[in-house]
Structure 1
């Protein structure tokens, strides 16, 4: 009896495809970039896949590192370790330069003392001696001044290098705290800003947290696909940003979720701001200019809570989320402010996002 052997299944060249994708986008073939593309390729992290695609073919290494830091905690540590090593190197260089300058000045002082003794000695008062001593001092002074100029140049250069490291870290932090799709602040930046509210007790009565959620967004994604959903997210983000003051904090905290931290406003003023955002979005057409497909209407629900009504960031987030739930439950496309007595069976905890 013969045995039928099934042919081997074709094994996809995952590594080759990932390497090709990286090369096509002009991405350096280094391990941390490969990890990003591998995770995006296998689809284990849909958010990473979308955000990496949103960077397009002109992604900088800083943007890739920021994305890595957002999704892989070990990436951020590597960037800061590299910066720390560079700073240590430059500081060591500055210290060596200053020690050399100190040695040079000590030698010059010693020469001045010895020459002064020779000139003032009663046994050495000839014109030739004075002339040679003056020539000697002039040469020593010139050498010391030249050395000092080199020291200043060296210290200045190293200071500029350290300033460049600082700027790179500031830029990295900015990118790491920015949502790549909407260019708003991301969840990490939101966590820090939310916690900072409770550092200033005097400002809490005029500080509000607003949580906003695009209505029926899953249906939009399911009907028109994620590329359309991403464009809608970017448009909504721009509209929210355009309807608040420049200093207002605006973040994308989840898929279709946004958060605002408004300072210096009463609850009535915050409600007016939320209604301005809601009406502006409600009046904005979402239509494909080429296909004429109408994706709208796109609406948003908003929940509000003043910081003075909560004891800590977790409670403030929870109460604001209850207000958002009530807005959704009331039919969506509306703004609700938190009030005692509002109930919700399940409240997302801000603490689950802290890691």
Structure 2
């Protein structure tokens, strides 16, 4: 008897919930609309989740135009920026190659023109005059002028492409950044994680790396009691604490809702455990105050799951193991971290 994996089961549930909400709002199941709701129920984009969650809680009618706008802003634009940037890089290579070829032709024409001038001078000195030679010399000068003009035009194109590349790079950075907390978003995190896993699997880089999943304890109660604006301020504060605690090579990302990840390249499991304890303490001792009013909301705590990547296991397996460790940390009472030990396939609480 075979059993369905939790990941497949989760996505079947997500698809089912998506179809249900399409019926609820009487929406057409076109790809863009389906995609936005699927991302919402899968909790894969905090910006989409927040926009739709607020609308649903307020009982606001959600129409297809709003969904298309969300698709354009948070799904399509990041993909287009990546695609266009690659296209600009390829085009810039073509221009560079063309400029190199034109430079070579210009050099050869200059040499050829000088040879013609020297021959013409010798012939005139010896009393010989050849009309055809003068014609060839004039044609050569015209070709040199045309090539020079083309070279200037290519240089203009190159400058325009450089400007576009800078603008597209900014757009790509924005597509990799969470709109609220300004840390990396889930898309960027997953790309970095896949790259690290592939490098270690292929032995391109054999340095160990670890992953943390971090969840804010009792965050839903705060959101329900004080509203999303206060909840957003808390998320920004926690993101700042996480960023201030890590090293330069590490990456903090908002994974979804009130959940964050930290990717730790060149880090052993014991080092990641030490950092997890430091993060727990850093959050616990920080008093949470509203920016606008200065009202104190007390102290927050976090639960953390920690795991080290094992060669060949794949990025999805690492996330699953870390998620199990996080779940155990919350089950064990929150405000602590738990570690997934792959050597014995167990998850154990470690405290903070």
**What TM-score does the superposition give when structure 1 sets the normalisation length?**
0.64
Residue in 2 that maps onto 1:321: 323
Shift of 1:141: 8.9
Helix, strand or coil for the counterpart of 2:287? coil
Residue in 1 that maps onto 2:278: 276
CA distance in 2, matches of 1:309, 1:86: 35
Residue in 1 that maps onto 2:22: none
Shift of 1:233: 0.3
Shift of 1:319: 0.8
Taking a change above 3 Å as real, the CA distance of residues 282 and 92 of structure 1, as seen in their structure-2 partners, is closer
Helix, strand or coil for the counterpart of 2:126? coil
Shift of 1:117: 5.0
- Any stretches of 5+ residues in structure 1 without a counterpart? 1-34, 53-65, 345-355
Helix, strand or coil for the counterpart of 1:318? helix
Shift of 1:155: 2.9
Shift of 1:295: 1.8
Does residue 1:193 correspond to 2:192, yes or no?
yes
Shift of 1:108: 6.8
Contact 1:51 1:180 in 2 (8 A): no
Taking a change above 3 Å as real, the CA distance of residues 164 and 303 of structure 1, as seen in their structure-2 partners, is same
Q: Deviations over 1:123-172 (max 9, x none)?
A: 97349x79xx99x97x9998777666545433322222222222223222
Residue in 2 that maps onto 1:48: 48
Q: Could you say what the CA RMSD is over the residues aligned between the two structures, in angstroms?
A: 4.6
CA distance in 1, matches of 2:346, 2:178: 32
Shift of 1:181: 0.6
Q: Deviations over 1:322-353 (max 9, x none)?
A: 11111001100001111345479xxxxxxxxx
Q: Deviations over 1:165-192 (max 9, x none)?
A: 2222322221111111111111111111
Taking a change above 3 Å as real, the CA distance of residues 158 and 287 of structure 1, as seen in their structure-2 partners, is same
Taking a change above 3 Å as real, the CA distance of residues 310 and 325 of structure 1, as seen in their structure-2 partners, is farther
Residue in 2 that maps onto 1:221: 223
CA distance in 1, matches of 2:218, 2:292: 24
CA distance in 2, matches of 1:269, 1:80: 34
CA distance in 2, matches of 1:249, 1:323: 20
Contact 1:97 1:151 in 2 (8 A): no
CA distance in 2, matches of 1:171, 1:184: 15
Task: Tell which structure's C-alpha radius of gyration is larger.
Answer: 1
Deviates more, 1:230-239 or 1:188-197: 188-197
Taking a change above 3 Å as real, the CA distance of residues 309 and 223 of structure 1, as seen in their structure-2 partners, is farther
- Any stretches of 5+ residues in structure 2 without a counterpart? 1-31, 53-68
Does residue 1:156 correspond to 2:174, yes or no?
no
**What TM-score does the superposition give when structure 2 sets the normalisation length?**
0.65
Taking a change above 3 Å as real, the CA distance of residues 204 and 338 of structure 1, as seen in their structure-2 partners, is farther
Residue in 1 that maps onto 2:249: 247
Contact 1:301 1:324 in 2 (8 A): yes
Contact 2:109 2:140 in 1 (8 A): no
Residue in 2 that maps onto 1:125: 126
Deviates more, 1:301-310 or 1:223-232: 301-310
Residue in 2 that maps onto 1:176: 175
Contact 1:198 1:204 in 2 (8 A): no
